[in-house]
Structure 1
Amino acid sequence: MHSMSVTTMIGIILAVACLLLNHAVAAPTTFRPRQVSDELMVGVGIADITGPIGEITMMGYAELNQKANGVHLRLKARAFIFSTSSNPARRVVFVSAETGSPSHRVRKLAVRYLQNKLSPTEAALYSVDNVMISSTHTHSGPGGYNDDFMYQVPNFGVTPGAREAIAQGIADAIFAAHQDFTPGIATVTSGPLDNASINRSPQSYANNPAQERARYSDNVDKTMVLLSIKDKSGTRLRGVVNWFAVHPVSMNASNSLVSGDNKGYASYMWELEERSNMNLGFVAAFAQTNAGDVSPNLQGPRCIDTGEPCDGGKNSCGGKLDKCVARGPGYEEGGDQLSTEIIGQRQFQKAKDLVKQPPSATTKMLQPSSNAVVDYRHTWIEMSKITITNTTTGASVKVCAPAMGYAFSAGTTDNPATGISWQGENDPNGRPFWNFVRNLLKTPSQELVDCHKPKPILLATGEMGTPYWWQPQKLPVQMFLITRKLAIIGFPGEITTMSGRRLRDAVKAQMVADGTVDGDAEVVIAGLSNLYSSYVTTFEEYQVQRYEGGSTTFGPNTLNGHIQSFTTLAHSFATGSMPPPSPAFPSTTEPSDNKDVNFLTGVVLDTAPLGKRFGDVLVQPSTGPFKVGTDTVKAEFVCAHPRNGASTSDTLSASGTVDIPNGRLPGGASSTYMTVERQLPDGKWTVVLDDAGWDTKYRWARIGVAESRCTIEWRVGSTVPVSPGRIAFDISAGIRLSR
Structure 2
Amino acid sequence: MRSIDIRRIAVVGALAALALAAPSPSGAATPKAKKVSQLRAGAGQADITPPQTGYYLGGWTRADRLALGQSTRLYANTLVLQRGTRKIALVAIELFAVPAGLQEDVARAVADLGYDRTGILMAASHTHSGPGGYANNPTYNTAAPSPATIGNPSSFIEFIDPKPADPTLYTFLVKQIAASIRRADGDRGLAAAGWASVELRGLTENRSIEAHLANHGLDVETGRGTAAMDPLGADDTIDPAVDVLRVDKFVKRKGKTVRVPIGAYSNFADHGTVVKADSQVYSGDHHAAAWRVFVDKVRRASPAIPKNQTVVNVYPNGAEGDQTAGLKHTGFDGAAVVGSAEAAKMFEAWKLAGKRLSRTPALDVRWTRSCFCGRSTATGPVDSKGIEGAGFLTGSEEGRGPLFDLTGISLEGRKNLTSDPVQGNKVQIPVGAPPAAVPLSVTRIGDGVLVQVPGEPTKEVGVRVRRAVRGPLAPKGIKHVVIAGLAGDFIQYITTPEEYGQQSYEGASTLFGRNQATFLQERYAELAGQLASGAPAEPPYPLDVAYGVKPDGPDYPAGAAAGSLTGQPPATVARGKDVKITWSGAPLGRDRPVDKAFVSAQRLVGKRWRTVDSDLGLHMLWHVDAKGAYDLTWTVPASAPAGTYRLLVSAQRYGLTTRTFTVG
- TM above 0.5, yes or no, is yes
Q: Deviations over 1:627-685 (max 9, x none)?
A: 22x11111112232136x3254xxxxxxxxxxxxxxxxxxxx435543334557667x6
Is the aligned partner of 1:646 residue 2:634? Answer: no
Contact 2:599 2:614 in 1 (8 A): yes
Correspondence for 2:80: 81
Residues 539, 736 of structure 1: alpha-carbon distance in 2 compared, 3 angstrom cutoff: farther
Q: Helix, strand or coil: the match of 2:415?
A: coil
Contact 1:677 1:736 in 2 (8 A): no
Is the aligned partner of 1:231 residue 2:219? Answer: no
AA in 1 matched with 2:241: T
Correspondence for 1:708: 628
Contact 2:319 2:458 in 1 (8 A): yes
Q: Helix, strand or coil: the match of 1:692?
A: coil
Residues 456, 634 of structure 1: alpha-carbon distance in 2 compared, 3 angstrom cutoff: same
Residues 216, 633 of structure 1: alpha-carbon distance in 2 compared, 3 angstrom cutoff: closer
Q: Which of 1 and 2 has greater Rg?
A: 2
1:405 to 375, 386, 389: 389
Contact 1:136 1:248 in 2 (8 A): yes
Is the aligned partner of 1:428 residue 2:416? Answer: yes
2:97 to 95, 98, 101: 101
Q: State the Cα distance separating 1:60 from its structure 2 match.
A: 0.7
TM-score of the superposed pair, with normalisation by structure 1: 0.72
1:180 to 159, 163, 187: 187
TM-score of the superposed pair, with normalisation by structure 2: 0.80
Correspondence for 1:374: 363
AA in 2 matched with 1:287: P
Correspondence for 2:221: none
Q: Helix, strand or coil: the match of 1:388?
A: coil
Contact 2:620 2:635 in 1 (8 A): yes
Correspondence for 1:261: 285
Correspondence for 2:316: 287
Is the aligned partner of 1:725 residue 2:641? Answer: no
AA in 2 matched with 1:576: G
Residues 523, 729 of structure 1: alpha-carbon distance in 2 compared, 3 angstrom cutoff: closer
Correspondence for 1:670: 595
Cα distance in 2 for partners of 1:36, 1:208 equals 50
Q: Deviations over 1:150-177 (max 9, x none)?
A: 2102285422322222222221221122
1:699 to 598, 609, 623: 623
Q: Helix, strand or coil: the match of 1:267?
A: helix
Residues 230, 728 of structure 1: alpha-carbon distance in 2 compared, 3 angstrom cutoff: closer
AA in 1 matched with 2:394: A
Of stretches 238-247 and 276-285 in structure 1, the one that deviates more from structure 2 is 276-285
Residues 251, 215 of structure 1: alpha-carbon distance in 2 compared, 3 angstrom cutoff: closer
Supply the RMSD in Å over aligned alpha carbons. Answer: 3.3
Q: Helix, strand or coil: the match of 1:451?
A: coil
Correspondence for 2:152: none
Cα distance in 2 for partners of 1:355, 1:385 equals 43
Q: Deviations over 1:454-487 (max 9, x none)?
A: 11111254xxxxxxxx31111011221113x111
Correspondence for 2:20: none
Q: Helix, strand or coil: the match of 2:121?
A: strand
- Aligned pairs for 1:163-562 (under 5 A) are 163-209=170-216, 214=232, 217-232=235-250, 235-274=259-298, 277=303, 279=305, 280=307, 281-297=310-326, 326-328=327-329, 336-357=331-352, 365-366=357-358, 368=360, 373-389=362-378, 397-417=381-401, 418-419=403-404, 420=407, 422-428=410-416, 450-461=421-432, 470-483=433-446, 485-512=447-474, 515=475, 517-518=476-477, 521-562=479-520
Q: Helix, strand or coil: the match of 1:206?
A: helix
Q: Helix, strand or coil: the match of 1:250?
A: coil
Contact 1:50 1:165 in 2 (8 A): no
Correspondence for 2:43: 44
Is the aligned partner of 1:593 residue 2:549? Answer: no
Contact 2:246 2:353 in 1 (8 A): no
Q: State the Cα distance separating 1:209 from its structure 2 match.
A: 2.7
AA in 2 matched with 1:221: D
Contact 2:394 2:412 in 1 (8 A): no
Correspondence for 2:131: 142
Q: State the Cα distance separating 1:388 from its structure 2 match.
A: 1.4
Residues 733, 386 of structure 1: alpha-carbon distance in 2 compared, 3 angstrom cutoff: farther
Contact 1:327 1:414 in 2 (8 A): no
AA in 1 matched with 2:243: V
AA in 1 matched with 2:534: G
AA in 1 matched with 2:204: S
Correspondence for 2:155: none
Q: State the Cα distance separating 1:544 from its structure 2 match.
A: 0.3
Contact 1:366 1:482 in 2 (8 A): no
Q: Helix, strand or coil: the match of 1:487?
A: strand
Q: Helix, strand or coil: the match of 1:54?
A: coil
Cα distance in 1 for partners of 2:190, 2:558 equals 54
Q: State the Cα distance separating 1:525 from its structure 2 match.
A: 0.9
Q: Helix, strand or coil: the match of 2:242?
A: strand
Cα distance in 1 for partners of 2:359, 2:645 equals 54
Q: Deviations over 1:305-351 (max 9, x none)?
A: xxxxxxxxxxxxxxxxxxxxx341xx5xxxx1111111111001111
Residues 142, 460 of structure 1: alpha-carbon distance in 2 compared, 3 angstrom cutoff: closer
Q: State the Cα distance separating 1:147 from its structure 2 match.
A: 2.0
Q: Helix, strand or coil: the match of 2:214?
A: coil
Correspondence for 1:322: none
Q: State the Cα distance separating 1:580 from its structure 2 match.
A: 4.6
Correspondence for 1:615: 563
| Number of equivalences | 579
Cα distance in 2 for partners of 1:527, 1:492 equals 6
AA in 2 matched with 1:159: D
Correspondence for 2:574: 627
Of stretches 42-51 and 54-63 in structure 1, the one that deviates more from structure 2 is 42-51
Q: State the Cα distance separating 1:95 from its structure 2 match.
A: 0.6
Cα distance in 1 for partners of 2:382, 2:592 equals 54
Cα distance in 1 for partners of 2:119, 2:165 equals 27
AA in 2 matched with 1:562: L
- 5+ residue gaps, structure 2, are 1-33, 144-161, 219-229, 251-256
Residues 452, 548 of structure 1: alpha-carbon distance in 2 compared, 3 angstrom cutoff: same
Q: State the Cα distance separating 1:190 from its structure 2 match.
A: 0.9
Is the aligned partner of 1:53 residue 2:52? Answer: yes
Residues 164, 722 of structure 1: alpha-carbon distance in 2 compared, 3 angstrom cutoff: farther
Q: State the Cα distance separating 1:92 from its structure 2 match.
A: 1.4
Contact 1:678 1:738 in 2 (8 A): no
Cα distance in 2 for partners of 1:355, 1:606 equals 42
Q: State the Cα distance separating 1:715 from its structure 2 match.
A: 1.6
Q: State the Cα distance separating 1:694 from its structure 2 match.
A: 0.9
Cα distance in 2 for partners of 1:351, 1:507 equals 24
Of stretches 631-640 and 129-138 in structure 1, the one that deviates more from structure 2 is 631-640
Correspondence for 1:393: none
AA in 1 matched with 2:87: R
Cα distance in 2 for partners of 1:596, 1:274 equals 40
Cα distance in 2 for partners of 1:526, 1:455 equals 28
Q: State the Cα distance separating 1:718 from its structure 2 match.
A: 5.2
Contact 1:400 1:452 in 2 (8 A): no
Contact 2:286 2:335 in 1 (8 A): yes
Residues 736, 213 of structure 1: alpha-carbon distance in 2 compared, 3 angstrom cutoff: farther
Cα distance in 2 for partners of 1:146, 1:127 equals 20
Residues 141, 460 of structure 1: alpha-carbon distance in 2 compared, 3 angstrom cutoff: closer
